[in-house]
Structure 1
Amino acid sequence: MTPQELHQDAIVIDGLIIANWSRAIFEDMRKGGLTAANCTCSVWENARGTLDNIARWKQFFRDNADLITPVHTTADILRAKQEGRTGIILGWQNLSGIEDQIPFLKVFKDLGVGVMQMAYNTQNLVGTGCYESKDGGLSDFGREVVAEMNAVGILCDLSHVGSKTSEDVILESKKPVAYTHCLPSGLKEHPRNKSDAELRFIAERGGFIGVTMFTPFLAKGIESTVDDYVEAMDYIINIAGEDSVGVGTDFTQGYDQPFFEWLTHDKGYLRRLTRFGKIKNPTGFETIGEFPSLTAAMLRAGWSETKVRKVIGGNWMRVLKDVWGA
């Protein structure tokens, strides 16, 4: 089977995309053979702002029904594959969208939100982000949030979450949790990257690791290639095992500098948290439409067809089914 044939046959899932959503992006998803993706619809927004974003997604589904379809279950992902469309999992990168209302979790779950990150870079009512100087861990309110997310079937994401809060969530959750998009600090020291110990800790407790190709966090920065991205995946696989790892690109396709300014300031407008510098995706994998080149790079690295199928999407299917139910 050629790399292109394998890519076309496999379930291909991206654990995190935060693109500037448009029909052009959805067309690129189809070009890339993307079966499904966790698509960010809330970062700093409150409940009303998040509802506005979800309403926009409902319009996207109506206007682009030939290209995308909403995902509530893993059966919806299989249906998307059969129909040649991309399944859209709505996801959050912060829990500011529930404000202080735990019942809102079920409301947003019913609207199609299947993944929520506990905190985005800084402190919220639930816990601490990775750019805070002190990590106070999961709050008691946060423990109730985790229990409700488990009950309604929402995946707890820890990608931008502080180390202590992440550890608390991993231990508190009765369902698998995930770093949907991260890289190892063993290859590059960065507040957003995870240590070998953190990667091992989540994997040993049934958690999951999606690997990002965001070049500011890769060892070679903007000089990175798709092969460097696969090398980072292998680094994590050597720690966590090939059954616990998937793709979480963090594609920001279509956005300009003001968007990154919004992302990198606390609450979108307060203190600066970090500077990314020039942002360029890895050579050979610069757009969503180039997803087949990732499969080719995996094979080029000596991966077996079985390993490719697991990491490119099969592992995501398993963990999402564990969290969401049948």
Structure 2
Amino acid sequence: MTPSELHDDAIIIDGLIIAKWERALLEDMRKGGLTAANCTVSVWEGFKATVDNIVRTQALMDECSDLVRPVHTTADITKAKEEGKTGIIFGFQNAQAFEDQIGYVEIFKKLGVGIVQMCYNTQNMVGTGCYERDGGLSGFGREIVAEMNRVGMMCDLSHVGANTSREVILESKQPVCYSHCLPSGLKEHPRNKSDEELKFIADNGGFVGVTMFTPFLRAGVNATVDDYVEAIEYIMNIVGEDAIGIGTDFTQGHDQQFFEWLTHDKGYARRLTSFGEIINPKGIRTVGEFPNLTEALLRRGMSERQVRKIMGENWVRVLRDVWGA
């Protein structure tokens, strides 16, 4: 089977896309052969603004039903593959939208939200992000984790502090994930995870999606798709071939103002970080170039079985564990 044939045949899942919602993006998802993606609909927004985002996103999906379909179950991912469409999973990068209402968790689950990151870079009512002193999971946070477990919503720890992450991993009765991270063993950065953290989440049944966000890659803006594959292999050697997948963190279509909003606490307060130039690795600059990743994994010497797992099968399995059949 050629790399192209393998890519066309495989389930391809991106565990994190925060690109600009427009038809051009959805067309590029189809060009790239994406079976499904976890698409961010909330970062700093509260309940109402997040519902408004979902309403707008749903309207775009309805307009573009020739390209995409909603995903509530892993059976919907299979259907997307059969229909030649991309399945859209709604995801949050912050538990902010739950506000102080545990009941909102189930409401958002019914709206199609399948993955929620507990914190985005800073403190919220659940716990602490990776850019400030980490006090761990709050009592309210424990209740949120229990409710997410109950309704079948995956806990994501990508931007979460080390203490809070560890406590969520221990608290959750379902697998949790770093949907989009890189190893600090290749580059020290507050957003990257240590070998110990990667091993701990895997040892406790969790999952790691690997990002290609160049500020966190060893080669930075000079990175290529092969540098991304180096990071995937590095993490796979720690967590094993069953606990790893893709979570690109594609941001295509967004302008500088969007990144200013992302990198300030609450979207407007103190500056948390500065990314500098945002450019994806050469060879996978856009979602449409996804087939190049399959080819690069094979070129690295990975087996067809490993490539299928990394590109999507592992995500399907862990989502089934969390969401139920």
Question: Which TM-score tier does this pair reach, normalised by the shorter chain?
Answer: over 0.9
Q: Distance in 1 between matches of 2:167 and 2:264?
A: 25
Q: Tell me the residue number matched to 1:78.
A: 78
Q: Distance in 1 between matches of 2:62 and 2:220?
A: 39
Q: Distance in 2 between matches of 1:21 and 1:273?
A: 25
Matched, 1:59 2:59: yes
For residue 130 of structure 1, give the secondary structure of its aligned residue in structure 2: coil
Q: Deviations over 1:118-153 (max 9, x none)?
A: 000000000000001x10000000000000000000
Q: Deviations over 1:222-276 (max 9, x none)?
A: 0000001001000000100010000000000101111000000000000000010
Q: Tell me the residue number matched to 1:12.
A: 12
Deviation at 1:30, TM superposition (A): 0.1
| Aligned pairs (5 A) from 1:167-316 | 167-316=166-315
Deviation at 1:7, TM superposition (A): 0.1
* Aligned residue pairs, count: 325
Q: Tell me the residue number matched to 1:120.
A: 120
Q: Distance in 1 between matches of 2:221 and 2:164?
A: 30
Q: Distance in 1 between matches of 2:181 and 2:303?
A: 23
TM-score by length of 1: 0.99
Amino acid at match of 1:38: N
For residue 202 of structure 2, give the secondary structure of its aligned residue in structure 1: helix
Deviation at 1:209, TM superposition (A): 0.1
Deviation at 1:57, TM superposition (A): 1.5
For residue 123 of structure 1, give the secondary structure of its aligned residue in structure 2: coil
TM-score by length of 2: 1.00
Deviation at 1:61, TM superposition (A): 1.9
Deviation at 1:58, TM superposition (A): 1.4
Deviation at 1:62, TM superposition (A): 1.1
Deviation at 1:39, TM superposition (A): 0.1
Q: Distance in 1 between matches of 2:54 and 2:287?
A: 22
Q: Distance in 2 between matches of 1:84 and 1:56?
A: 23
| Aligned pairs (5 A) from 1:97-176 | 97-132=97-132, 134-176=133-175
Q: Distance in 1 between matches of 2:128 and 2:238?
A: 25
Q: Distance in 2 between matches of 1:246 and 1:61?
A: 25
Amino acid at match of 2:53: N
Q: Distance in 2 between matches of 1:56 and 1:259?
A: 17
Q: Distance in 2 between matches of 1:60 and 1:72?
A: 17
Q: Distance in 2 between matches of 1:174 and 1:247?
A: 23
Deviation at 1:186, TM superposition (A): 0.3
Q: Deviations over 1:60-102 (max 9, x none)?
A: 1210000000000000000000000000000000011010000
Matched, 1:45 2:45: yes
Q: Tell me the residue number matched to 2:25.
A: 25
Deviation at 1:169, TM superposition (A): 0.1
Q: Distance in 2 between matches of 1:287 and 1:57?
A: 20
Q: Deviations over 1:106-125 (max 9, x none)?
A: 00000000000000000000
Runs of 4+ aligned structure 1 residues displaced above 3 Å come to none
Amino acid at match of 1:124: N
Q: Distance in 1 between matches of 2:82 and 2:194?
A: 38
Q: Distance in 2 between matches of 1:112 and 1:56?
A: 14
For residue 130 of structure 2, give the secondary structure of its aligned residue in structure 1: coil
Unaligned runs of 5+ in 2: none
Unaligned runs of 5+ in 1: none
For residue 201 of structure 1, give the secondary structure of its aligned residue in structure 2: helix
Q: Distance in 2 between matches of 1:3 and 1:256?
A: 33
Residue identity (%): 70
